């Protein structure tokens, strides 16, 4: 393993470690339920997301040691392959990013259990990125097939995840604060623990905010569909009719801040992308690099962001500092794929190949980009990496970056260079991680 590869992968490992549910869930449970105020009756645990099963494992372990008088049960949904062992909380694996019947059945069971809560009970929601697709329970009149088709169309449209979730939460019986509303109607206390994978870390945006007041409206959802030219030819009529009915006041809006006056609902964001970027920065500092955190809210088309950061790297090389530099960033890019192209890879490897292609005049640049959940798009890799020696290897294999970018086959490019980052499911999820090393 080269010096650059070691630093790149260790920086990614540092970013993951600070978002490990086994570490952060017990810490926050101790703050929410300090000694003397632990749950003493029924405690229902529900959740959804790529990290939610591992959050459930951590919660069970904490409860075994600290909550001797609590009756613990629940259901948590996670993506296929992201399971974690539990004894009292049922883990259901389901489809992501396109919802399936397993997810809908699991969401129905969560809704049923929350509907049985009584005054004095505690609802703990374990929410992480991926929950928007996993926690799919359509409003009356919308089928799971219609939800699936809507999700697929939104994914292909290039709509940012925040816009996708505005639409989906207005089609959901659980999201947009509806889960908290159901618990409050029965007199229960609601505590939600959130691992954020969205820019801004707003609880309403994380897994479409099942326990958070929502800032968006039915009209916003319709405007988003119009913005991306999605109408009756691509969106099911049941979906359009429901959204239009919401605008007309025929169905209730999502939960709003005014609905929570004097309500026992708290949303705790326990891990964020920025904390992970800071952990990576601290690591590279120990390796002699000067870290520059570009932010955790960088969005846009992955290829555009790659070119922009190549130009930014060029500017940083012109500074007078004698230290090597590490540019670190997060945020979720998008990839818009034409219907005629299948594509292989994801937004991280697409960004990285764009950066690779646009930085040919920077001989001492290395970089890594990976999704912190361990899966980047359509394949099983978390992302990819490159170091200076790979440019010669690419030339020898006649690999032309522009051709792979045009076909959105960034997985194929980096696979041939043996430069994929493969972690398997990490059981956490704090958005994408990107690092560029500039050796002077």
Q: Whole-model pTM above 0.75?
A: yes
d(CA 426, CA 424): 6
Strands (E), 80-195: 89-94, 122-128, 189-195
What pLDDT does residue 426 have?
94
Percentage, residues of the chain above pLDDT 90: 86
Residue count of the chain, please give it. 440
Please check whether residue 330 is in contact with residue 364, taking contact to mean a CB–CB distance below 8 angstroms.
Answer: no
| 3-state DSSP assignment of residue 157 | helix
Please check whether residue 25 is in contact with residue 272, taking contact to mean a CB–CB distance below 8 angstroms.
Answer: no
The per-residue pLDDT for range 177-215, each reduced to its tens digit, is: 999 999 999 999 999 999 998 888 999 999 999 999 999
The per-residue pLDDT for range 276-307, each reduced to its tens digit, is: 999 999 999 999 999 999 999 898 999 999 99
The single residue listed with the structure tokens 């045009």 is: 406
Output the CA–CA distances (angstroms, integers) from residue 298 to 198, 331, 333, 351, in the order listed. Answer: 11, 5, 7, 12
Cβ neighbours for 187, distance < 8 A, ≥ 6 positions apart? 117, 118, 119, 120, 121
The DSSP symbol for 404 reads H
* 27: confidence class by pLDDT, cuts 50, 70, 90: very high
Classify each residue of 393-405 as buried b or exposed e, where b means 16 or more C-beta atoms within 10 Å of its C-beta: ebeeeebebeebb
The mean predicted confidence, pLDDT, of the chain is 95
Packing angle of the helix pair 347-358, 302-317 (nearest 10 deg)? 40
Please check whether residue 382 is in contact with residue 13, taking contact to mean a CB–CB distance below 8 angstroms.
Answer: no
Can you name the residues that pair with 48 across neighbouring β-strands? Answer: 77, 127
Sheet holding 420-421, edge to edge: 290-295, 325-330, 432-438, 365-371, 383-386, 420-421
What pLDDT does residue 264 have?
95
| Omega cis (within 30) before 97 | yes
């Amino acid at each position: 393993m080269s010096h650059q590869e070691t630093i790149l992968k260790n920086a990614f490992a540092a970013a993951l470690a600070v978002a490990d549910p086994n570490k952060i869930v017990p810490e926050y449970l101790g703050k929410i339920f300090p000694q003397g105020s632990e749950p003493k009756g029924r405690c229902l645990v529900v959740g959804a997301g790529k990290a939610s099963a591992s959050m459930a494992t951590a919660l069970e372990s904490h409860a075994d040691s600290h909550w001797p008088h609590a009756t613990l049960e629940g259901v948590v949904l996670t993506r296929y392959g992201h399971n974690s062992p539990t004894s009292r909380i049922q883990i259901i694996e389901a489809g992501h990013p396109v919802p399936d019947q397993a997810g809908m059945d699991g969401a129905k069971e969560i809704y049923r259990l929350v509907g049985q809560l009584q005054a004095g009970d505690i609802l703990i929601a374990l929410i992480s990125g991926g929950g928007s697709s996993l926690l799919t329970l359509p409003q009356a009149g919308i089928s799971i097939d219609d939800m699936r088709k809507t999700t697929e169309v939104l994914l292909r449209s290039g709509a940012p995840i925040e816009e996708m979730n505005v639409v989906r939460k207005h089609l959901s019986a659980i999201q947009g604060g509806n889960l908290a509303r159901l618990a409050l109607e029965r007199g229960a206390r609601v505590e939600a623990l959130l691992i954020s994978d969205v820019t801004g870390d707003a609880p309403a945006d994380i897994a479409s905010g099942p326990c958070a007041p929502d800032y968006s409206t039915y009209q916003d959802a319709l405007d988003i569909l119009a913005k991306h030219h999605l109408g009756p030819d691509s969106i099911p009529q049941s979906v359009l009719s429901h959204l239009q009915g919401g605008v007309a006041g025929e169905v209730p809006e999502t939960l709003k801040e005014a609905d929570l006056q004097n309500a026992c609902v708290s949303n705790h964001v326990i891990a964020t992308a920025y904390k992970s970027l800071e952990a990576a920065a601290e690591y590279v500092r120990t390796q002699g690099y000067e870290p520059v955190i570009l932010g955790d809210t960088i969005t846009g088309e992955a290829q555009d962001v790659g070119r922009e950061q190549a130009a930014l790297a060029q500017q940083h090389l012109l500074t007078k500092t004698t230290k090597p530099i590490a540019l670190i960033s997060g945020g979720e890019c998008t990839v818009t794929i034409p219907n005629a192209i299948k594509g292989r890879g994801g937004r991280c490897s697409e960004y990285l190949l764009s950066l690779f292609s646009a930085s040919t005049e920077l001989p001492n640049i290395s970089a890594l980009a990976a999704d912190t959940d361990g899966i980047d798009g359509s394949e099983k890799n978390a992302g990819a990496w490159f170091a200076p020696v790979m440019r010669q290897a690419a030339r020898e294999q006649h690999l032309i970056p522009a051709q792979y970018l045009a076909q959105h086959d960034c997985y194929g490019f980096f696979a041939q260079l043996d430069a994929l980052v493969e972690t398997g499911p990490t059981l956490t999820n704090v958005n994408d991680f990107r690092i560029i090393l500039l050796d002077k």
